[in-house]
Amino acid sequence: MTITQINLYRYDIALKAPIAISLGTIEHARNLLVEIQTEAGITGWGEGSPFWMIVGETQASGLAAAGDMARLLLNRDPLDIEGCLNTLVRYLPGHPTTRSAFDMALYDIAAKAANMPLYQFLGGSKQSLVTDETIYINAPERMAEDALRIQANGAEAIKVKLGTNARDDIRRVEAIRNALGDTMPIRTDANQGWDVITAQTVLRAIGGWNVQYCEQPIRRHDIAGLRQIRQSSTVPIMADESLFDATDAIRLIREEAVDYFNIKLSKSGGIFEALKINAIAEAAGVPCMIGCMSESRLGLTANAHFASARQNIRFYDLDGCFEHASDPVQGGIVYDKYQITLPDAPGIGAEVDPSFLNGLDKVSIHRSAA
């Protein structure tokens, strides 16, 4: 089997409203879509969601890089996933989100060629997944209202974005806890917004309020600071922006810096690297969460397949499409409130609606242009 053509799409999806985290505000899901075609008639789909403030990529930079990446993959065997991805990494280190879209499409092709749903191709089984829902930074009373809405909708856990200052962040969690009562777990995420002292202050204040963990309290490179916070906190610490690849995973474990890992395909470069991260974590006894950026249900379905195939994935944060104003995906995971059901079709089992696809900017890279 060989790759004959790759189509790249500017995959814009409107949001219901802007969403705010400590690193910035997102007004649109500006994603990128990769379609890999083969001479065997099998097509693979992949999606990347470049959060510039986390991965250092934008949609524009990703699409520019994707053109070069596509040319490198023409005429190659898509089933040689490791070989294809190593070629991309050697040519253009970095760009994990862009690479993740190619990775996803290659795995889609391989699972379709094997006539297996992706979770089965990865050696796993179909699991029951339950996602949380995220509350973004706002006034404490508004965040408490959002928490009550999510609780009334049947959520089992709520994720709360923090990372401004100690006083306001404590007030946010306090307002949410008072509104919800004591039983529903709160998962907090500062997105690098604190320093060590602020993190210790906030976590000490909220430690008795059934807080399940805190994601990335401080800057991603400060591993010593993460270890210091972990040692002083009753709230478990989860690495997110500090964890891009397997090398980061080894360092975090060696330094005993965190209790949990947050794996995101758009951050890790895709499934191939995510499998390595999870294997390292599992060997070290570090449970993982599958997270997301602002993917549509196509990318979220690939994330869910990965999570279902690995028992070390204990937490699920696959709510990115909840903020989208429209759903352009056919097939894919099905949400029953917060319960996620995976498709059984071969491959990822999701594609973009052709009518939506036809309205997107597209660049085609094919053999005659190689």
Q: What is the CA radius of gyration of the chain?
A: 20
Q: What is the pLDDT of residues 234-283, one digit of tens each?
A: 999 999 999 999 999 999 999 999 999 999 999 999 999 999 999 999 99
The reply to whether domains 3-115+354-369 and 120-350 share a CATH topology is no
Tell me what the mean pLDDT of segment 281-298 comes to. 97
Q: What pLDDT, on a 0 to 100 scale, did the predictor assign at position 2?
A: 97
Answer whether residue 173 shows pLDDT above 50. yes
Q: What pLDDT, on a 0 to 100 scale, did the predictor assign at position 348?
A: 98
Non-local (6+) Cβ contacts of 359 within 8 A are: none
How far apart CA 296 and CA 307 sit, in angstroms, is 17
Q: How many CA atoms lie within 13 A of 341 on its CB side?
A: 8
Instruction: Give the residue among 241, 242, 289 at the shortest CA–CA distance from 263.
Output: 289
In 10 A of CB 106, how many CB atoms? 28
Instruction: Give the residue among 225, 176, 161, 126 at the shortest CA–CA distance from 26.
Output: 161
DSSP string, 149-168: HHHHTT-S-EEEE--S-HHH
Report the DSSP beta bridge partners of residue 6: 36, 365
Q: CA end-to-end span of the chain, whole Å?
A: 18
Answer whether residue 62 shows pLDDT above 90. yes
Q: Which of 240, 241, 273, 317 is catalytic?
A: 240
Q: What pLDDT, on a 0 to 100 scale, did the predictor assign at position 369?
A: 46
Q: Specify the DSSP element, H or E, that contains 18.
A: strand 3-21
Tell me what the mean pLDDT of segment 126-147 comes to. 96
282 in active site: no
Fold of 3-115+354-369: Enolase-like; domain 1 (3.30.390)
189 in active site: yes
What is the average pLDDT value for the chain, to the nearest integer?
A: 96
Domain boundaries, the chain: 3-115+354-369, 120-350
Q: Which of 248, 264, 267, 323 is catalytic?
A: 264
Fold of 120-350: TIM Barrel (3.20.20)
Q: Which of 189, 241, 273, 319 is catalytic?
A: 189
Q: Which of 112, 159, 161, 267 is catalytic?
A: 161
Q: Which of 47, 215, 241, 323 is catalytic?
A: 215
Answer whether residue 131 shows pLDDT above 50. yes
Answer whether residue 160 shows pLDDT above 50. yes
| Residues above pLDDT 90, as percent of the chain | 93
Pairing assessment for the beta strands 3-21 and 362-366 based on DSSP bridges: antiparallel
The pTM of this model reads 0.96
215 in active site: yes
Answer whether residue 370 shows pLDDT above 70. no
161 in active site: yes
Answer whether residue 310 shows pLDDT above 90. yes
